[in-house]
Homo-oligomer: A and B are copies of this chain.
Amino acid sequence: MSEVNITLQAAYDLAFSCLTQHGCNDENAAAAAHRMIQAEGDKCHAHGLFRLPWYVGGVKSGRVNGSAQPTVNKLASSVVKVDGDNGFAPLAQKIAHGPLVDCARENGIAVLAITDMFHLAAMWPEVEALAEAGLCGIAVTASYPYVAPAGGIKALFGTNPMGFAWPRPDGPPLVFDQASSAIARGEIQIAARDGQRVPVTAGIGPDGQATTDPNVVLQGAQLGFGGYKGASLAMMVELLAGPLIGEFLSFEAEADDAGRGGPPKGGELIIAIDPARFGNPEHIIAHGEALFQEVLKQDGVRLPGDRRFKARELTKRDGIKIPESLYNEIMSLRV
């Protein structure tokens, strides 16, 4: 597979110009492009420029508001709500970050409900930002019906990722971001694109039978990680990022899309916790380090997020590589 090597800045400019040419205003395009390039910089290609055609398609079809002006409201002392004004998530997240941090610092814990928006990025950027502010963060969002409930064969839950971050005194925080499904939707799509197989735990065909063919899984249903337990988490995420905050369940997001093929409309729930309201924050963070030291004593064991942070250093220097086919697709999107 031939690849094109470009700098992060060039990749950002490409995404930004593509989005503005198709109907995003500068503020929305900048936030969305930044999110895609963050993912590329960490070599999370499934959430990088790979998503750009989907972003563009959402705006072009008129489903997504490229000039969204998200608004912030307090629903209760510890509940911040951000209405995304029918735009992409990154601008709403950017606007919500400060009020969420303030609310968590004031009350010890706070919850952010982002509604009326389209989330098609990784989850780690928003929780990583909380940990950079000294807070512990948990974020969840639903998507489209991709995952079968435990014991079922029909896709109903989204891949419903959960992101978690914990502050560290030196260097980047402890961060993980993982789908409730055995593997991420984007990984299955990329396997299908590249003619690869997927693990047999990834999903089932429309007939409920096991398969390693990503195209058959895409027509059937993905499975939760670890079987029924991942499916339980997916259900929890549906409830928290859907009904609790007045947003779509994954199957409702699909119905709303009505076959237009855009990104899922829905909500995101983020919980932020301030260690400083539980005790001496330096002691608390140092105590976390004691756990990480024990983890790293074992041969060949890394902390979650470590691979991304290493990639981040490399791509700053070397730029990123994207498949030529994707590069050409993006270039053809430019008017």
Interface residues of A (CB under 8 A from B): 75-79, 81, 106-111, 113, 136, 138, 148-154, 156, 164, 166, 174, 176, 178, 182, 201, 224-230, 232, 235-236, 238-240, 242-246, 249, 251-252, 271, 273-275, 277-279, 283-285, 287-288, 290-291, 294-295, 298-302, 304
C-alpha gap A299/B149 in the complex (Å): 11
C-alpha gap A299/B110 in the complex (Å): 39
Given A244-B275, A300-B151, answer yes or no on A78-B295 (Cβ-Cβ < 8 Å).
no
Query: Which of the residues B138, B174, B235, B244 comes within 8 Å of A278, measured between beta carbons?
Result: B244
Distance from A73 Cβ to chain B, minimum over Cβ atoms (Å): 11
The answer to whether B240 touches A136, judged by C-beta atoms less than 8 angstroms apart, is yes
What DSSP secondary structure best describes chain A's contact surface? mixed
The answer to whether A304 touches B244, judged by C-beta atoms less than 8 angstroms apart, is no
- Which residues does chain B contribute within 8 Å of A176, judged by CB atoms? 232, 235-236
Instruction: Kindly report which residue of chain B lies nearest to residue A111, judged by CB atoms.
Output: B109
Distance from A19 Cβ to chain B, minimum over Cβ atoms (Å): 31
C-alpha gap A148/B113 in the complex (Å): 34
- Which residues does chain B contribute within 8 Å of A76, judged by CB atoms? 106-108, 274, 277
The answer to whether A113 touches B178, judged by C-beta atoms less than 8 angstroms apart, is no
The answer to whether B111 touches A111, judged by C-beta atoms less than 8 angstroms apart, is no
Query: Which of the residues B138, B226, B291 comes within 8 Å of A242, measured between beta carbons?
Result: B291
Query: Which of the residues B152, B224, B242 comes within 8 Å of A295, measured between beta carbons?
Result: B152
C-alpha gap A295/B285 in the complex (Å): 41
Given A107-B76, A251-B294, A278-B75, answer yes or no on A288-B239 (Cβ-Cβ < 8 Å).
yes
Query: Which of the residues B75, B148, B299 comes within 8 Å of A277, measured between beta carbons?
Result: B75
Cross-chain pairs A/B with CB under 8 angstroms, 22 sampled: A76-B108, A79-B277, A79-B278, A109-B110, A113-B278, A136-B244, A150-B301, A151-B298, A151-B300, A151-B302, A224-B226, A225-B230, A226-B226, A226-B230, A235-B291, A239-B291, A242-B287, A243-B284, A243-B285, A244-B273, A244-B278, A245-B279
Supply 16 further A-B pairs (C-beta < 8 A) apart from A75-B108, A136-B240, A245-B278: A75-B277, A77-B108, A78-B108, A109-B111, A109-B271, A111-B273, A136-B239, A151-B301, A151-B302, A156-B295, A174-B235, A226-B226, A239-B291, A243-B275, A246-B279, A251-B294
C-alpha gap A178/B81 in the complex (Å): 30
- Which residues does chain B contribute within 8 Å of A108, judged by CB atoms? 75-79, 111
- Which residues does chain B contribute within 8 Å of A274, judged by CB atoms? 76
Query: Which of the residues B78, B166, B238, B249 comes within 8 Å of A109, measured between beta carbons?
Result: B78
- Which residues does chain B contribute within 8 Å of A201, judged by CB atoms? 226
Distance from A232 Cβ to chain B, minimum over Cβ atoms (Å): 5
